[in-house]
A and B are shown apart, each in its own frame.
Chain A
Amino acid sequence: MQLNTRGIPYYINKPLVARVTRNQDIDEEGNILITGDSAIHYLPKFSALLTGLPIAQLIPDKPAVYNVLSLDHLQEGDIVAINTDGIIQTLYRPGSKQNFLLFTERCNSNCLMCSQPPKNKNDGDYFYNIYSQLIPLLPTDCEEIGITGGEPTLLGDLFFQLLDQLKNHLPDTEIHCLSNGRTFAWREMTEQIASLNYERLMFGIPVYSDHAASHDYIVQAKGAFNQTMQGLYNLAAIGQRLEIRVVLHKQTIPRLKKLAHYIYRNLPFASHVAFMGLENQGYTPHNIDKLWIDPDDYMNELTEAAEYLDQMGMNVSIYNSQLCVMPERLWRFNRKSISDWKNIYLEKCAGCRLLNDCGGLFASCSEQHSKAIKPFL
């Protein structure tokens, strides 16, 4: 699924965020009109135009992007950002349950299996500008929005301002924020979360090992484990809802059962524990030798870990796994978790009678996947 496109910008002086429409007669003001009609005239209510036509055929009277490569993926009501370089990013799709806001590409960790490798550029002001425009446009009946990064909390004050905006504009929307939790080792950070008093906010924080050195190696940051643990405790002390996330790969499997015990004995306040299959994206292909283990070969460890936590009354899910690779007793933990825009099934899955219940694969895993995948016929 396509989320970006580009064309030639015309008087886009700063990033512009608005809903797209193909309806010239719409009453609402401020939308971006997508048009292929060279005969359109003065349309004051639109904030910008997007067109596949060359500028020679349509001379806009307002900011625009012309010669856009493709516009078919944009649906009525989608919210996009038009950047000064002509890149048109889809920020929000009303029909999807997997909308997320990427708050920053900066990160204080550098995980071996990061699917979205961080950048060192300070992008806080840029993203704040985009999202502070976006949030007021979001439909208030939106069920859930994810916040991701990079490490979103690195936005500092801007992070809390955006959360505050979300809380005020979308009081009924569940907000799921991914974070490595390290910054919450500082009480001031946690106190700011506490003062938001944001019941719909949940943090998803990874703990990859009960052994500090092993966790630090996986996230490529010395001292990260202790910071994350202290952060989790600080957040728990203010009653913050927390999810623990564990990515399954060669570095996490050997101590997986011990990690499960550690989570229950030390983090019993977590409202959810998610075990997640590897996404072959970002850094992962580069580090594949350090990371790859066929999921078929770790099902015993995963079964023990998941069933232990479940028995102890914790809420367990398995993400990014396929039913045919899992023993049947684990199916009850399986969730169809892969975002629609990067979710695929293999050719051989075509005849599978359980296809509708199966989460399938990441698009990035079309080659890198378990040898045990086979359709239920």
Chain B
Amino acid sequence: MIATHPSIKTNRKFKDQQYYKTDTDTYFLLPFRFHRLNEKREIIVNDCGDFLVVDRGMVEKIISKQIQPGDEIYPDLLANFFISEQPVPPLLNIMATKYRTKKSFLDHFTSLHIFVMSLRCEHTCHYCQVSRVSDNRTAYDMKRDHIDKGIGMMMRSPNPHVTMEFQGGEALLAFDNIKYAVEKAKEEAIKHDKQISFVICSNLALINEEILSYCKENDILLSTSIDGPAFIHNKNRHRLGNNSYELAVAGIRAAKQALGEDKVSALLTTSTLSLDYPQEIVDEYYKLGFRNIFLRPISPYGFAARNKERNFYSAGEFLEFYKKALHHVIAYNRIGEFYREDYTTIILKKILTPFPVGYVDLQSPAGMINNVIVFNYDGDIYASDEARMLAEMKDHTFRLGSLDTHSYEEIFYGEKARTFSDAWLNESLPGCADCAFQPFCGADPVFNYATQGDIYGHRPTSDFCHRNMEIIRYLFELMDNDKEVERIFRTWIKPNC
């Protein structure tokens, strides 16, 4: 509480520092968590994501109240809301605002609406979760009736800004339906006073002038896949003619030229083959004109899970790859080239800024339902993209219902959503609840279920936990050891980059 009214001072004699120190012989601990970063250093983190990296042994001193007001760290602990000189911290309101701000990605609820336009694809990527090679449009394309109903449900989202993402299979095989959906969604968005962004996910093999000019007219973003140089990409992404890489690169060039550099993005899927070529992959993205790369591990779903030889690797192997690739990206920055890694950037935003970061695959509450919903080609509704991939393996655990039979309320607030909500907060998951990295991490009930058999998961053996804890730990260590890296990292999180 703010104690006294700012009265006019009557005595203007200067007093010394001692007079302004709180007259107390102890301090009170505010909630925080801690973690050992390495042999020398440990970290303390509070719920708002404020953190201090300190020497080993400091946490014990703090907790056992051995810190003295004259110690260098004492004001740091006060200023960063780790201790308080009063039982109720005087700036409790400010802590509350900071916490609210960090979680305000929740304010508007679901934004990303994925429409699986077709399961059909002319690629047969060995890690693909979902696609079919087929000409049967009626069996594998989304029907217009379902498109209408999906748009209707999207318009029910409380979010004033929704994103409509077209996925496949290869979404462009159903380009007529995409056009239909865009026109319909634009009409409805006006009626419901919503802003709407469009994204088409495509391998770009089928891109042509007509599609590009339609994308330009409607400000549609293109998201594609590049797995690295041709020898990796074509090995991962099979296609008749073995020319996936050549078509994707040509597609990216054409799309960037037609739509602008910032309208085309690419995602990397890390296969077992990729693990040996971190530098080559980073260089490839740079060569293609990208100044960002998203180092993404393979999802443990779909064909990827069946094809273990080519796609199974441990979290440890991925981390080794990630670190090598990250160092190579950092090396570009050291010689003055802007180039960033996207996953790192997401985590850095959580660490280095006081702002909310809602990223569907790493947030708490989890992105499923709260931030993303999937309308499958057959009208079924899934809690996330991974959930429908699981469904392609005949596991319908995360099927929330159908566009034909379920209302908005039944989907978003129904029994299933409530069950999943038990496991979508890392604040309340065993292992996560005590973890220092909790504010920078997330929860993923679908991943837990797919890899460990239940939506809660078991942290000590979880790949999700292993991967994210090590990435976060590593980023802190890098910044602690090398201030130049910290400076480079700050350039990555600048707004509008």
Contacts and interface: CB of A to CB of B under 8 A. Distances in A.
Given A109-B9, A220-B15, 20 more contacts: A110-B12, A112-B14, A117-B12, A120-B12, A183-B6, A185-B6, A210-B75, A210-B79, A211-B79, A212-B90, A213-B21, A221-B6, A223-B3, A229-B91, A230-B93, A237-B97, A262-B79, A266-B98, A312-B352, A313-B494
A224 B6 CA distance: 8
B487 A311 contact: yes
A216 B6 CA distance: 13
Interface in A312-366: 312-313
Given A110-B14, A226-B91, A230-B91, A268 B79 contact: no
Contacts of A117: 12
A293 to B, nearest CB: 16
A27 B46 CA distance: 69
A223 B19 CA distance: 12
Interface string B1-31: 0111111111010111101111000000000
B90 A226 contact: yes
Contact of B12 (A118, A210, A262): A118
A258 B76 contact: yes
A266 B94 contact: yes
Give the size range of A's interface with the partner: 35 or more
B319 interface: no
Contact of B490 (A213, A222, A287, A311): A311
A227 B6 contact: yes
B8 to A, nearest CB: 6
Contacts of B2: 185, 223, 226-227, 230
B439 to A, nearest CB: 13
B247 interface: no
Contact of B354 (A212, A224, A268): A268
Most buried by A among B6, B9, B15, B353: B6
Given A217-B20, A312-B353, A233 B79 contact: no
B407 to A, nearest CB: 37
A212 B8 contact: no
B45 to A, nearest CB: 13
A230 B94 contact: yes
Contacts of A214: 17, 20, 75
Most buried by A among B9, B20, B22: B20
Interface string B471-497: 000000000000000010011001100
27 contacts: A108-B9, A110-B9, A120-B9, A120-B12, A154-B8, A185-B2, A210-B79, A211-B79, A212-B79, A213-B17, A213-B20, A214-B75, A220-B15, A221-B6, A223-B3, A226-B2, A226-B90, A226-B91, A227-B2, A227-B6, A229-B94, A264-B354, A266-B94, A266-B354, A268-B354, A312-B352, A312-B353
Nearest to A210: B79
A183 B7 CA distance: 10
A41 interface: no
A265 B2 CA distance: 21
B50 A265 contact: yes
Chain B at the A interface: SS class: loop
A102 interface: no
A106 interface: yes
Contacts of A265: 50, 354
B199 interface: no
B20 A108 contact: no
Contacts of A222: 19-20
Interface string B87-119: 000110110011000000000000000000000
Contacts of A312: 352-353, 490
Nearest to A286: B14
A15 to B, nearest CB: 23
A266 B21 CA distance: 22
Given A265-B50, A311-B490, A211 B354 contact: no
A249 interface: no
B17 A233 contact: no
A176 interface: no
B287 to A, nearest CB: 28
Contacts of A220: 9, 14-15
A184 B93 CA distance: 14
A173 B19 CA distance: 42
A120 B78 contact: no
B449 interface: no
Most buried by B among A211, A212, A227, A258: A212
Contacts of A255: 75
A273 to B, nearest CB: 15
B491 A311 contact: yes
Most buried by A among B10, B14, B98, B352: B14
Contacts of B4: 223
Contacts of A186: 5
A255 B22 CA distance: 19
B8 A120 contact: yes
Contacts of B332: none
Contacts of B50: 265
Contacts of B91: 226, 229-230
Contacts of B93: 230, 233
B343 interface: no
Contact of A233 (B6, B7, B75, B94): B94
